Amino acid sequence: MSDDEQETTRTRVPMPIATLSDPHLGDAAKHPSRVEGIIALIFVLGIVMTAGFGAAYWQNWNPWIIGGTMGAGLFLLGFGLTAWGKYLMPQGPFVEERHVLAGSPEERGAMSAALVERSAVVVKRRKLLGGLFALGAGIFGIVAIFPLLRSLGPVPGTSLDRTDWRKGSLLVDSNGRSVKRGTLVVGGIMTVYPQNFEYSPNGQATDQTVLIRVQDSDLVTAPGRETWAPAGYVAYSKVCTHLGCPVGLYEQQLELLVCPCHQSMFNVRNGAVPQFGPAPRPLPQLPLYFDSDGTLRAQTGFDQAVGPGFFERTTTEKL
């Protein structure tokens, strides 16, 4: 039926109420006046709740009273309106024809013809102009990427390979206190940083190192690391080699450092070799020594990049 025909149709078309055509409805729907009463009651409750929401907000009552009245008010008003639509408005079934979206073959042909023929005449004959414009647009596109690449942040360079640990760096805790021979008992653990780490951007994130006293005497975690853990003090980067979470759990009985994010476990005694979980590499170890005052210092910085892998990472030492 076309629109014109529909507009002239003013005859009353008696329709059974929607509900009768719906197999899922029970007796309630067959009594519209009763349904109307119920919906009216729902609306009144919704209005009461909405007013209560206003009062609760005005008086700054508890958040759950504000939210409870607001939610109940909105829900009841919506429920009533939906019920009104479902039970008391015409459900049909009504039908509408689908318009065919596609045009006729002639229309399609005309479109294609215009595209092909005009470009043949206008564009193809002026290949130079078209080429120049494409070149210009292309150059602009490339140039436009520059600010995105060069102004957002620095080229990474060696920034991921470096920490603030240097030869002779003083180990301090987060409050700047240094570590003496008796600071930790055997089995004790603390997080240390190089002195003045707080003045380094991101120092706390990259420099964080876990210091554990595994035993009373010097500890050798691996060949070539004979002097790295004096008096049983051993230090490993706290940045997990899997995804960079702080390796914050220490299982003292098993002498395992555990990353709570994805459960990588590192054996403290043998150079933090990953014993379980997805971490691919040992935590880098920081070589330590006691200076003449008996204060703990780093012999050198880390011998490799700390934290997760990245493409430019070159140190591939495995234990």
**Preceding peptide of 93 cis, ω within 30°:** yes
**DSSP string for 239-252:** B-TTT--B--EEET
Minimum distance between the CB of residue 127 and another protein, rounded to whole angstroms? 33
Between 55 and 122, CB nearer to another protein: 55
**C-beta of 219 vs 267, nearer to another protein:** 267
Q: Which residues pair with 194 in a beta bridge?
A: 171
From the number of C-beta atoms within 10 Å of its C-beta (0-12, 13-18, 19+), residue 179 rates as: buried
Closer Cβ to another protein, 83 or 222, answer by number: 83
Two tokens, residue 107 = 């229309």
Tell me whether residue 92 or residue 182 sits nearer to another protein (CB atom).
92
Nearer to another protein, 292 or 316 (CB): 316
Nearer to another protein, 22 or 291 (CB): 22
Radius of gyration of the chain (CA): 37
CB of 128 to another protein, least distance (A): 36
Q: What is the DSSP letter of 159?
A: T
Q: CB 316 → another protein: shortest distance, Å?
A: 4
User: Residue for token digits 């329709």?
Assistant: 15
Least distance in angstroms from the C-beta of 162 to another protein: 9
Q: How far is the CB of 69 from another protein (least distance, A)?
A: 9
Nearest distance from C-beta of residue 252 to another protein, angstroms: 16
Question: Cβ atoms within 10 A of the Cβ of 20, count?
Answer: 12
Residue found by looking up tokens 């209560």 in the block = 52
Nearer to another protein, 99 or 127 (CB): 99
Q: How far is the CB of 206 from another protein (least distance, A)?
A: 7
Give least dist CB 135 to another protein, A: 26
* Whole-angstrom distance, CA of residue 293 vs CA of residue 168: 13
Of 301, 318, 319, 317, nearest in space to 161 by CA: 301
> CA-CA distance, 45 to 79, in Å (whole number)?
11
Q: Give every CB contact of residue 206 below 8 A, 6+ residues apart in sequence.
A: 162, 163, 164, 239, 306, 307
SS3 17: coil
In sequence order, what are the residues at sequence separation of 6 or more whose Cβ sits closer than 8 angstroms to the Cβ of residue 210?
Answer: 189, 190, 191, 192, 235, 236, 237, 238, 247, 250, 257
> Any bridge partners for residue 190, and if so which?
211
CA–CA dist 119, 124 (Å, integer): 6
The two beta strands, 189-194 and 296-298, are unpaired
Q: Which is nearer to another protein, 60 or 104 (CB)?
A: 60
